[in-house]
Amino acid sequence: MKRKIVKIEEEKCNGCGLCIPNCPEGALQIIDGKARLISDLFCDGLGACIGHCPQGAIIIEERETQGYDEKKVMENIVRQGENTIKAHLLHLKDHGEHKYLKEAVDFLKEKKIENPLEKVVAGHGHEHAMLHQMGGCPGSRMMDFRKKKKAGGGDATTARRQESELQQWPIQLTLVPPSAPYFQDAELVIAADCVPFAYANFHSDYLKGKALMIACPKLDDAEFYKQKLAQIFKTSSIKSINIVHMEVPCCFGLNGIVEEALEKAGKKIPVKETVIGISGEKKK
């Protein structure tokens, strides 16, 4: 089985970090002054990070593989030092990959390499708890905004009730018909699924007078979306595209999906990017 994997040419990398927010899966981190692929497991090989590397240090290589092998990954990880080991273990933990996490910890034990996250829980014998609460993928990290919202004051019930600006249905990219009339001469908003929940004024600020499609670049079928969007772009006279997504790394994959779809369709449509913070503020 062949699989596409990101490869970082270390001698070219200057550690600028421009690739980090553009890795859809959060598999890249700057460690010891260089960009590091901390997990082959979460690299989808789409290369959304490549176009943001000014040094040309990132390439996609296709190699024969018999599926993901945590031990082989760890052989590469340990060569990059303790900080990379820590980042890799946290990455597995934050994505709920408990099987691979155990294999990684067992590898460290076998090689007699200290586990930077390991703490023995009293009364549980050889059982260990991964208690580190920092780092990992921002896209899956738990955050609680309740105290912040209370501190802001104000009564939401007294606010002016907003009217819906939705102009069409369906809105999910999987379901929208490619030849829908509302795409003709439209200003199109392509929003990540989480955006309207995080950004309170989504309707008034971004949706008024626009056609809408929503998608999740992390959980949905990216290849299907590229084909579907290419078909829509090819058959519709869309005036502009605003990609509205969350600030978490996995959400930046929506940019790559749209870019590849435009290329497949042979269309040049003005594209704007809007980034929403996970606590509800506009970032860019």
CA angle 239, 245, 248 (to 5 degrees): 155
CA distance 237 to 256: 21
| Start-end of CATH 3.30.70.20 domains in the chain | 2-130
Neighbours of 194 (CB within 10 A): 18
- pLDDT tens for 135-147 read 445 555 555 555 5
Using DSSP, state whether 184 is helix, strand or coil.
coil
pLDDT at 205: 94
- pLDDT tens for 76-91 read 788 888 888 887 888 7
The alpha carbon dihedral of 98, 219, 39, 4 has a sign of: positive
| Start-end of CATH 3.40.1010 domains in the chain | 163-276
pLDDT at 121: 37
Compute CA 169 distance to the chain's CA centroid, rounded to the nearest angstrom: 26
pLDDT at 195: 96
**What's 2-130's CATH class?**
alpha beta
**What's 163-276's CATH class?**
alpha beta
Band of pLDDT at residue 30, cut at 50, 70 and 90: confident
* Dihedral of the alpha carbons of 255, 239, 221, 226, in degrees to the nearest 10: -90
Report the percentage of the chain scoring pLDDT > 90.
37
Average pLDDT, the chain: 81
Burial of 182 (0-12, 13-18, 19+ CB in 10 A): middle
Helices (H), 188-221: 195-198, 202
Band of pLDDT at residue 252, cut at 50, 70 and 90: confident
149 has a pLDDT exceeding 80? no
DSSP state of 139: T
Band of pLDDT at residue 220, cut at 50, 70 and 90: confident
- pLDDT tens for 183-203 read 999 999 999 999 999 999 999
Band of pLDDT at residue 61, cut at 50, 70 and 90: confident
Q: Which of 35-44, 125-134, 156-165, 258-267 has the lowest mean pLDDT?
A: 125-134
pLDDT at 123: 37
Mean pLDDT score, 127-155: 50
Q: Per DSSP, which regions of 97-237 are E strands? A: 118-120, 128-130, 187-192, 211-215
- pLDDT tens for 161-170 read 778 899 998 9
Mean pLDDT score, 57-85: 80
